[in-house]
């Protein structure tokens, strides 16, 4: 480890208070995935922090969603491939959530919408970038990528993520560390779909036989869709939202549902999607039709040899700090699947430790902020050494 690395670590050691102050600002800004203004407001605050430390930030315009931000810290290694510090600014919470339950700290835990998933990770990435820039630059270039639409499958930012990861030395994705303190070395892929079923309206008393119930057809399809689930293989299908009908005394002319597919390997996805397509096409109720739309998709994070080596480097650094970690498999999806799919060594959930994401009980372990930042910085130093 060089003096530059040591300087960066010494500076990080004294930054818990400043990290919490920035985190409070970010948590208290609503930034649901479809709230472009809110997501961009979070981005503006991060950009201001980085600019205040002399770090250039490039805005990549995104129509309909928050813009993406790239921050660059030069590496003394010249043309060396960069290490990418990645995180998303959007949350799953509606407008007004931050006002209802703003950032607070109690008994060593921080609370608030998105506090762990993943505004703490954004803060950590920004401070690690600042630490190295203040110290004169890391020995490899660093890229901070702050995206805007991960919670809905990154429909706009996926190309930006993949472009940034191609040719990079490694990606450290700062999703929250597991409640155990572990990191994530594998994740499921996911496909999110909308199914519309059309039937024919008729009076349910006067001319029932003329009707074709879209609700009945959807009910048959729902049972068949759930039957695709194979827990041993890690494949699950969940119909999570259902709506339809016109009135209680009308045979339903329309019904819709939202479908969530999770899978472990690409062949599992293909097999499940083939079965879903057959269910959609099968008119169990004669005279009804159905149409399936894919709204978003994640790729699985599958650990290869290079990602395994990255994990071992990080685990060795963490153990040396007195915080041993293991790799876990997660059923939740993340942008790390996109970076791994383009061949970039990827490690996920290296952010500060937290739990109960997407719920009012979401929390962050405050004491993990600085140690996880140190682990990231030391991993960068280790990667620079080859």
What's the CA gap between 212 and 32, in Å, rounded? Answer: 38
Measuring CA to CA, which residue among 220, 184, 222, 226 is closest to residue 349?
Answer: 184
Could you give the domains of the chain?
A: 3-187+300-384 (3.40.630.10), 189-298 (3.30.70.360)
Peptide linkage before 118 cis (omega within 30 of 0): yes
108 is written with which tokens? 């060593």
Burial class of residue 111 in the structure, from the number of CB atoms within 10 Å of its CB (0-12 exposed, 13-18 middle, 19+ buried): buried
- Alpha-carbon distance 20 to 26, whole Å? 10
Distance (Å, whole) CA 64 – CA 296: 15
Mean pLDDT per 10-residue interval, the chain, length 386 residues: 90 98 98 98 98 96 97 76 97 97 98 98 98 93 97 95 96 98 97 97 97 98 98 97 98 98 95 98 97 95 96 97 96 96 97 97 98 98 88
Q: pLDDT tens-digit profile of 203-224?
A: 999 999 999 999 999 999 999 9
39 alpha-carbon distance from chain centroid: 14
pTM, to two decimals: 0.91
Residue pLDDT, tens place only, 252-310: 999 999 999 999 999 999 999 999 999 999 999 999 999 999 998 999 999 999 999 99
pLDDT at 1: 77
Q: Tell me which residue of 200, 201, 224 sits closest to 280, measured CA to CA.
A: 224
Distance CA 57, CA 44 (A): 10
Strand blocks (E) in the chain: 57-60, 68-73, 83-88, 104-106, 109-111, 142-147, 170-173, 176-177, 183-187, 189-198, 202-203, 236-244, 250-251, 254-263, 289-298, 327-330, 346-348, 351-355, 363-365
pLDDT of residue 167: 87
Token pair listed for 44: 């503006």
> Quick one: 249 exposed, middle or buried, by C-beta within 10 A (0-12, 13-18, 19+)?
exposed
Q: What is the pLDDT of residue 76?
A: 64
**Residue 241: other Cβ atoms inside 10 A:** 11
Task: Kindly write down the DSSP assignment for every residue of 71-114, as one continuous string.
Answer: EEE-BTTTTPPPEEEEEE--BSPPTTHHHHS--EEETTEEESTT
Neighbours of 108 (CB within 10 A): 11
- Strand 170-173 and strand 83-88: pairing? parallel
């Amino acid at each position: 480890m060089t003096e530059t690395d040591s300087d960066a670590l010494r500076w990080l050691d004294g930054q818990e208070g400043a990290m919490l102050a920035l985190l409070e600002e970010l948590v208290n800004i609503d930034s649901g995935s479809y709230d472009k203004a809110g997501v961009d407001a979070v981005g503006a605050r991060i950009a201001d922090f980085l600019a205040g430390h002399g770090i250039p930030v490039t805005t990549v315009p995104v129509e309909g969603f928050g813009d993406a931000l790239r921050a660059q810290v030069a590496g003394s290694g010249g043309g060396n491939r960069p290490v990418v510090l990645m995180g998303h600014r959007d949350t799953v919470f509606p407008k007004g959530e931050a006002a209802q339950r703003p950032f607070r700290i109690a008994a060593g835990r921080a609370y608030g919408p998105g506090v762990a998933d993943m505004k703490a990770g954004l803060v950590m990435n920004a401070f690690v970038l600042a630490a190295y820039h203040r110290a004169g630059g890391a020995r490899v270039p660093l890229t901070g990528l702050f995206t805007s639409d991960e919670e809905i499958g990154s429909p706009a930012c996926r190309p930006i993520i993949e472009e940034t990861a191609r040719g990079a030395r490694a990606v450290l994705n700062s999703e929250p560390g597991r409640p155990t303190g572990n990191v994530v070395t594998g994740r499921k892929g996911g496909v999110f779909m909308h199914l519309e079923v059309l039937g024919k309206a008729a009076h349910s008393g006067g001319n029932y036989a003329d009707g074709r119930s879209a609700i009945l057809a959807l009910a048959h399809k729902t049972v068949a869709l759930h039957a695709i689930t194979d827990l041993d293989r890690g494949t699950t299908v969940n119909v999570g939202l259902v709506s339809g009908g016109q009135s209680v005394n009308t045979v339903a002319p329309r019904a819709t549902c939202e479908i969530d597919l999770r899978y472990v390997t690409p062949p599992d996805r293909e097999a499940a999607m083939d079965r879903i397509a057959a269910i959609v096409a099968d008119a169990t109720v004669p005279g009804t039709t159905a149409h399936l739309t894919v709204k978003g998709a994640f790729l699985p994070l599958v650990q290869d040899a290079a990602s395994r080596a990255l994990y071992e480097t990080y685990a060795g650094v963490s153990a040396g700090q007195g915080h041993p970690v293991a790799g876990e498999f997660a059923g939740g999806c993340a942008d790390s699947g996109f970076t791994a799919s383009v061949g970039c060594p990827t490690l996920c959930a290296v952010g500060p430790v937290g739990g109960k994401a997407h719920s009012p009980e979401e929390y962050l372990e405050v004491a993990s902020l600085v140690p996880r930042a140190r682990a990231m910085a030391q991993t960068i130093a280790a990667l620079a050494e080859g």
